[in-house]
Amino acid sequence: MHLLSAIRRQLLFRPRHVFVVDDRKSWSGLELLAGSWHLAREIEKATSKPAVAVMLPTSGLFPLSMLATWSLGRTLVPINYLLSKPDMEHVLRDAGCDTVITVQPMLDFVGELPAGVRTLKLEDVRFSGVPWPKLSNPLPESEVAVLLYTSGTSGKPKGVMLTGSNLSSNVQQVREWVDFGSHDVMLGVLPQFHSFGLTVLTILPLVIGGKAVYTAKFLPKKIVDLARTHKPTAFIAIPSMYNALLMVKDGKPTDFSSLRFAVSGGEPLPHAVTQGFFDKYGVRLAEGYGLTETSPVTNWCRPFEYRERAVGKPLPRLDQRIVAPDGRILGKNEDGEIRMKGPNVMKGYRNLPEETAAAFDEHGYFRTGDMGRFDDDGFLYITGRIKEMLIIAGENVFPREIEEVLNAHPSVKDSAVIGASDGSRGEVPLAFVELVDGAAFDETSLRSFCRERLAQFKVPREIRHMEALPRNATGKIVRRQLKP
């Protein structure tokens, strides 16, 4: 079924069911549907452009705006409100947007928008009365439903074109993989401009007729309180969020006993966090894997098949392979680039035909840029990023391996490793660490700790202390901001 039609059907058939709860209110099916029709009329008045930008906090306002935009047969462009002004201007210009759906607190946060860009503030929209239904023909499933911007090789964000078919395929893949249904309650804190926040925490609950509980800001104690109140069955977060939840003093196993799935993604999940969460809450965290270009979910290690550091097997109808630099398809337990083909893989990058062509190999497989390997049972393990790989005296070294050792030290909260030029060995590892509260920085002790667990050439030449490692909107460490 067409994605918009599938959502409308749920809202119409269950008009009193609460589909969304956020920091301000609850949203029934009727409120979302009628509200989207009201907003669609305002969008028509504000702009004739085929793409409409949305800049909103994680809340029910996002699905409302998404439905309104799609009902007009237009493309949704979620805006990362943490972008620099030049990058935001580039995104709006590249997407062809002249109007941004937003709220005043968001404008207060980001400051002045680029010249020539109008705002449609939701506070100014009258949602009272009976709206005329917007029943215009939705975009064909083959057309771009969402433009998500991600970092480009040139430094400018590039628009990932996700079609309605891409998104609906990924929703169906996830549903089949873990049997999601109307009884499920999603607890969501990831930004909805992020691919996981969009597909898994926003679109999926609407399609299955479940419920999504949103909060705009990650506050560990509040997350625990929401879990106690709403009894979520699924929670998707990044490792640093799970680590922060360990610090909630009155947290106990009953807080998250309703969870069927507690999924970690975005960056490596340290063993200490996995074990700590299990010890405190009795919940086994499972890792998943995906990319913006794949809509995004591609792998998910289900709880009953948990394997430490594995991200699971490929989802249905997704073909994955491990490929050597010379193009050979590698076998089990061999490291190479992860490539994949499936109905959830993007249409391409907007206005970037050369980068789009380079993103796929001669067989039509998407080049992820991630290194990984399959074990004997078909479980995928991520071993690093090709572009982040260090070449030390001719040996390939991935930062992840060194970071996992550093993160195991009791004084280290998190770490990041980059390469520094070296006259004799080409590159040497340079590490940056963020310490747990109250810990003292002792570089000698940390290097000794590494020497006991790593080959000598992998031991960081230098370890530097940072009060806070640079992170993006979802908390993922941004290595490119670290300088030798």
Distance (Å, whole) CA 441 – CA 465: 7
Q: Is the pLDDT of residue 157 over 80?
A: yes
- Percent residues over pLDDT 90 in the chain: 80
Q: Which of 1-10, 222-231, 383-392 shows the highest mean pLDDT?
A: 222-231
CA angle 38, 40, 45 (to 5 degrees): 105
**Which pLDDT tens digit goes with each residue over 376-387?**
999 999 988 888
C-alpha 46/C-alpha 100 separation (Å) is: 10
**pLDDT at residue 155, rounded to an integer:** 64
Q: What is the mean pLDDT of the chain?
A: 93
Q: What is the pLDDT of residues 69-113, one digit of tens each?
A: 999 999 999 999 988 888 899 999 999 999 999 999 999 999 989
Domains of the chain, by residue range, sit at 3-178, 185-322+370-385, 389-481
Distance separating alpha carbons of residues 282 and 280, to the nearest angstrom: 6
What pLDDT does 7 receive?
96
For residue 160, what are its two tokens?
């990932």
Say if strands 336-341 and 319-323 run parallel, antiparallel, or are unpaired: antiparallel
What is the average per-residue pLDDT within 412-422? 92
**Residue 151: which pLDDT band, with cuts at 50, 70 and 90?**
low
In the prediction, which pLDDT does 153 show? 44
Question: For domain 389-481, which architecture applies?
Answer: 2-Layer Sandwich (3.30)
Backbone angles phi, psi at 478, to 5 degrees: -105, 95
Residues 317/173, Cβ–Cβ less than 8 Å = yes
Residue whose pair of structure tokens reads 């007009």 in the numeric block: 72
Residue type, 28: S
Question: Class for domain 3-178, per CATH?
Answer: alpha beta
- Residues contacting 321, CB < 8 A, separation 6+: 329, 330, 338, 339, 340, 365
Q: Picking from 65-69, 137-141, 340-344, 406-410, which range would have the lowest pLDDT averaged per residue?
A: 137-141
The pLDDT confidence band at residue 422, using thresholds 50, 70 and 90, is confident
CA 246 to chain centre: 22
Q: Say yes or no to pLDDT of 33 above 90.
A: yes
Fold match between domain 185-322+370-385 and domain 389-481: no
Helix (H, G, I), strand (E, B) or coil at 212: strand
103: nearest Cα among 88, 125, 85, 87? 125
How many CB atoms neighbour CB 284 within 10 A? 15
Residue type (1 letter), 312? G
**CA distance readout (Å), 464 to 172, 239, 461, 469:** 45, 22, 10, 11
Alpha-carbon distance of 174 to 342, in angstroms, equals 13
Name the token pair of 64. Answer: 């409302």
Nearest-CA neighbor of 480 among 397, 437, 417? 417
Q: Would you tell me which CATH number, out of the four given (3.40.50.10800, 3.40.50.12780, 1.10.150.120, 3.90.550.10), belongs to the domain 185-322+370-385? A: 3.40.50.12780
Q: What is the pLDDT of residues 125-138, one digit of tens each?
A: 998 877 777 656 67
d(CA 205, CA 17): 12
Taking only the tens place, the pLDDT of each residue in 288-340 is 999 999 999 999 999 889 898 999 999 999 999 999 999 999 999 999 999 99
Could you read off the pLDDT of 450-465 as tens digits, one per residue?
999 998 899 999 999 9
| Burial class for 480, CB neighbours closer than 10 Å (0-12, 13-18, 19+) | exposed
Instruction: Extract the runs of DSSP E, i.e. beta strands, from 209-361.
Output: 211-214, 234-237, 261-264, 286-290, 297-300, 310-314, 319-323, 336-341, 348-349
Contact 67, 36 (CB under 8 A): yes
pLDDT at residue 303, rounded to an integer = 86
Please tell me the predicted confidence (pLDDT) of residue 475: 76
What pLDDT does residue 239 have?
A: 86
Q: Which residues on adjacent β-strands are paired with residue 393?
A: none
Q: How far apart are CA 468 and CA 200, in angstroms?
A: 29
Q: What is the pLDDT of residues 346-365, one digit of tens each?
A: 999 999 999 999 999 999 99
